[in-house]
Amino acid sequence: MVAVIIPALNEEKTIKDVLEVTKTSKLVNRIIVVSDGSVDNTASIARSCGVEVIELEKNIGKGGAMCVGVKSCSEDIVLFLDADLIGLTELHIDSILKPVVNNEVEMSIGIFSCGRIITDLAQLFTPFLSGQRAIKRNLFEKVIDLDITKFGVEIALTQYADKHKIAYRKVKLYNITHLTKEEKLGFNKGLKSRLNMYIDIIKNFKLFNK
């Protein structure tokens, strides 16, 4: 059984397209959107798509929102997707899920390719930061303190797998991209948000690399 969890903060522009595509996958049994303190129409748009929505009154960060989603379901496999994806298809979803569903690996990570140079290069050099990943529930639950990692959640999961020699696979996702923070928030606010994200990543790299 597979649950898709989509942490979302003010993603009213893209959330509907992401959900409509996700609903087409026959491998998916359940879809949960965790609106992480959104102040726009993210939650209401998600509800209109017929999926489960959890609204958090305050923003607790990506890692916390993902943990809330996992705790609210009982499926053995969880697929995390970002809410700002552009060009997502059923094939992308299934290609991330199949290695885990077929018990070939414990986790799979989707890497953008042939989408936009700005996002392709980012994932080429830092694939461990991708928010598109399928993971077995028991592995996710073994990684402590994920709820406080914020944007460092992906590196925490990848480092745990590396440290404990847990098999995972990188899966290329062709012709897909996402909105950058600068595109969503404007250059100044987007840059500030990006810097905060890098700070979270560095903090968690040190924490989980001990």
Q: Which one of 14-28, 131-145, 155-169, 186-200 scores highest in mean pLDDT? A: 14-28
* Strand positions, DSSP E, the chain: 2-8, 30-36, 52-56, 77-80, 85-86, 107-113, 133-136, 168-174, 177-178
Percent of the chain with pLDDT over 90: 67
113/52: higher pLDDT:
52
Say if residues 168 and 105 touch (Cβ distance below 8 Å).
Answer: yes
- Read off the pLDDT of residues 63-77 as tens digits, 9 standing for 90 and up: 999 999 999 999 999
Instruction: Assess if residue 132 is contained within a domain.
Output: yes
Quick one: tokens of 184?
């969503």
- Euclidean distance between CA atoms 27 and 67, whole angstroms: 22
For residues 86-109, give the mean pLDDT.
Answer: 97
In the structure, what pLDDT confidence band is assigned to residue 38 with cuts at 50, 70 and 90? Answer: very high
- Hunting for tokens 């059923």 — which residue is that? 90
Tell me the torsion sign for CA atoms 14, 187, 175, 133. Answer: negative
Task: List the domain range (segments joined by +) for residue 164.
Answer: 2-178
**Of the spans 25-39, 112-126, 157-171, which averages the highest pLDDT?**
25-39
d(CA 165, CA 142): 14
pTM, entire model: 0.83
pLDDT on residue 37:
97
Local structure of residue 111 (DSSP, 8 states) = E
118 pLDDT band, cuts 50/70/90, is: low
Query: Which CATH number does the domain housing residue 13 bear?
Result: 3.90.550.10
Q: What domain count does the chain have?
A: 1
